[in-house]
Amino acid sequence: MAFKILVINPGAGSTRVALFADENPVFEENLRHDPEELLKFPKIIDQYEFRREKIMMLLESKGVDQKSLHAVVGRGGPFKPLSSGTYVVNDRLIQDVKTGDYQSEHPSLLGAMIAKEIADGLNIKAYFVDPVSVDEFWEPARFSGLKEIKRKALSHALNVRMVAKKTARALGKPYTNCNFIIVHLGTGITIAAHYKGKQVDSSNANEDGPFSPQRTGALPTIPLVKLCLIGNYKYEDIKKKLNREGGLLSYLGTDDIREIEKRIAQGDKEADGVYNAMIYQIAKEVGAYSVVLKGDIDAMIITGGIANSKKFVSHLQDWISFLCDKFYIYPGEGEMEAMALGVLRVLKKEEEVKEYT
């Protein structure tokens, strides 16, 4: 009998839900949320009931017999620094999320919480796999330039590791023998350097790197300080402005690449300028992370939701193709599959589950 695994993945602009029977998807749905609706919630944690209710309504509409489930897995958020692997969701983790003992605020924090509530009601276990806070940084990567501030290892580790392993197989090499530059193009953007099977440096979508659909990325420091001090903003106001109201949304009033490309096709020069500026910033960051590997790159990997746009990917490749002659494109995100497979390995006793402490 196949193991049935419910997979929950809260992202910045949507909540994806899937049911797997072993490694095979039974269904996968992307519940998109209107940015204006999400902005009604002062904090990410305040979205808990809203997102949980959407998930439960979907399961009911799909006729899912919850009693047939063997496990529930939620996306791992920006918890404290952790090694890669599959973890059981325990009370300590839930307490840490509720009390704010985590590195950054992101909807993925809700994944484990919702998974555990559902699993507890069914007397089964909840898990998370390769959380956002997987930390394998080289020591030089931790320095920010100001002693009081340390760079954090926060990235789209789940999808990035999945596509890295797929690319290694395609090259016929062990992942631990490969060097990759990986570009994850989602609501937030991660550019990562993988050296011999470890993510030794990466951008942090909430704090640095290029601007993205909803986030500002790195900003000029002195104007930012002036904005904070003169603009009469509270801390939460600034954080929302940087991580939920920035990027494409700030410039164009939408974070939807399809809508922006439609505007460009209709002759919207402002949309064209912002669109190309984001590609330009991503390309500059790819160049920086190529230096981390000293140019020794087995392949460039482009993934994430925006990778569905052939136009966007083509424009990006125009900037960075001189760095490497091998490109692997994985449109969308392999996060749902990665979570299901991580739990499946534990259920089949092929991998030891880890305990959050």
334 pLDDT tier (thresholds 50, 70, 90) = confident
Is 4-136+335-355 a CATH 3.40.50.700 domain?
A: no
Give one DSSP letter per residue of 275-301, joined into a string: HHHHHHHHHHHHHHHHHHTTT--SEEE
42 pLDDT tier (thresholds 50, 70, 90) = confident
pLDDT of residue 106: 85
pLDDT of residue 306: 97
Task: Tell whether the model's pLDDT for residue 23 goes beyond 90.
Answer: yes
- HEC string of 333-348 equals CCHHHHHHHHHHHHHC
The pair of three-digit structure tokens given for residue 77, joined into one six-digit string = 């958020």
CB atoms within 10 A of CB 165: 16
Q: In Å, how far are 183, 214, 250 from 254, measured between CA atoms?
A: 22, 9, 8
277-324 pLDDT per residue, tens: 999 999 999 999 999 999 999 999 999 999 999 999 999 999 999 999
13 pLDDT tier (thresholds 50, 70, 90) = confident
Domain boundaries, the chain: 4-136+335-355, 157-331
229-266 pLDDT per residue, tens: 988 899 989 999 999 899 999 999 999 999 999 999 99
Average confidence (pLDDT) over 31-56:
91
Q: Is 159 helix (H, G, I), strand (E, B) or coil?
A: helix
25 pLDDT tier (thresholds 50, 70, 90) = very high
Name the CATH superfamily housing domain 157-331.
ATPase, nucleotide binding domain (3.30.420.40)
Selection from 70, 68, 119, 71 nearest residue 94 by Cα: 119
pLDDT of residue 265: 98
What are the residues whose beta carbons fall under 8 Å from the beta carbon of 319, sequence distance 6 or more? 279, 280, 283, 286
Average confidence (pLDDT) over 321-330:
97
pLDDT of residue 220: 97
64 pLDDT tier (thresholds 50, 70, 90) = very high
Backbone angles phi, psi at 209, to 5 degrees: 75, -165
**Cα atoms in the 13 Å half-sphere on the side-chain side of 164:** 27
Task: Tell whether the model's pLDDT for residue 271 goes beyond 80.
Answer: yes
Task: Tell whether the model's pLDDT for residue 143 goes beyond 80.
Answer: yes
Task: Tell whether the model's pLDDT for residue 12 goes beyond 90.
Answer: no
Q: What is the pTM of this model?
A: 0.83
pLDDT of residue 84: 85
**4-136+335-355 with 157-331: one CATH topology?**
yes
Task: Tell whether the model's pLDDT for residue 269 goes beyond 90.
Answer: yes
Task: Tell whether the model's pLDDT for residue 187 goes beyond 90.
Answer: no
